[in-house]
Amino acid sequence: MHHTSARAAITSLLAAKGFGERGLALVLAAACGDADKQAVALRQAALQRASEMPSDAITGYTGELLIAPIPVDETALCKQLCPVTIDLAKDVGLQLSCLAALVALWPHVTQAERGLMRQRFLDSLVNDQHPAEVHLSSEQLIAWQRDLPTSQSEPHASVSTLKGLLQEGTAKNAYRVMADHLGMNADLPTLSWVLGALTVQVRQRFHDPDRRLLHVLLGTVACERLAAHALPEHLATLITQLGHQLWWCIHHAGLAPVRICIDPVTQNFAEAVASGNLTAAQRAARALAKDPAAFWEQAWKLVDERIHANDPHWYVALELVLVAAWRTSTDAVSPDDAAAIGTVLADLAYREKSTPELAAP
């Protein structure tokens, strides 16, 4: 991460309360250019917009970690904060993303700042406003684990094997599908990526006004990035909680399905996004994805437009495009990831069209 930009994000975080969406936006802005050099041009404006976002922390964390030893490196930080994330995070996707952001910042944080920076993250945990039923507790997981039958095989993680969890009618049965993938030989980064791919497919089918699906996707990428530092048992639990969060989104979040546009005309990507037509944007994105260089050039240009628009949800565009770049690398882009980017960008354009006060001046 660019050190000067990381320091700007740290200074802004320390000057406000909590971490949350604002802190995540700051760190992602500082990370512009890490996945794709084209995004460097967005960095300064994104940092400025992120610093202007309001803090969402009201209550301060008062637990024992306030006086715990300061972690010396990223591995010690994960060992200390993964358990409290498991216990307290309701929106585990968002909080995992914040933890991964804090880990990325840690080498740039001075020793004198580290205690307060850790507190900012802990404050965001106790201010998590997601419904309580989204959280799958360690106690519940242990109880369900005892009831599992002995498995003779462990399926190779794929979207086709994992999507069965979305078809289950109860959280316990959905957990069993996830647990089948968490044997002794589980490849946790790959499982995280597959869960992200499944989330990408779901996002194309449903509107996501409260960013619930986006947070799951962010969490899957965070798990991939945390795998180098987090204990496997912690990571396995967090991935399981993410799977439950995705299941809950489908069955209990009341997400409206995306209406399919049957107009066969294929617009170019920018036109389709500007129209606010989600399925047209998906088709155009899939078509443009055949030329990765052209796709990413256009995607970053559209993110830049969102950053400079008078839209309080600008950071959604930055989050999705950046995590897609991390997921697939910018030498390529999967058709599904491209379509998800088109979906979100068109959704933001539609919001701007239907809400005149968000129109750019």
- Integer-rounded Cα Rg, in Å, for the chain is 20
Contacts 24+ apart (CB under 8 A), 265-270: 269/295, 269/298, 269/342, 270/298, 270/301, 270/302
The end-to-end CA distance of the chain, in Å, is: 33
**Residue 360 pLDDT:** 36
Answer yes or no: is pLDDT of 162 > 50.
yes
Span 212-232, pLDDT tens digits: 999 999 999 999 999 999 999
Give this prediction's pTM: 0.94
Q: Which of 172, 203, 173 is nearest to 327 (CA)?
A: 203
Tens-digit pLDDT profile for residues 222-281? 999 999 999 999 999 999 999 999 999 999 999 999 987 766 667 899 999 999 999 999
Confidence at 152, pLDDT banded by 50, 70, 90? low
Collapse the DSSP code of 206 into the 3-class scheme (helix H, G, I; strand E, B; otherwise coil) and give the result. strand
Least confident piece of the model among 44-48, 122-126, 213-217, 329-333: 329-333
The number of residues in the chain equals: 361
pLDDT for the residue 28: 96
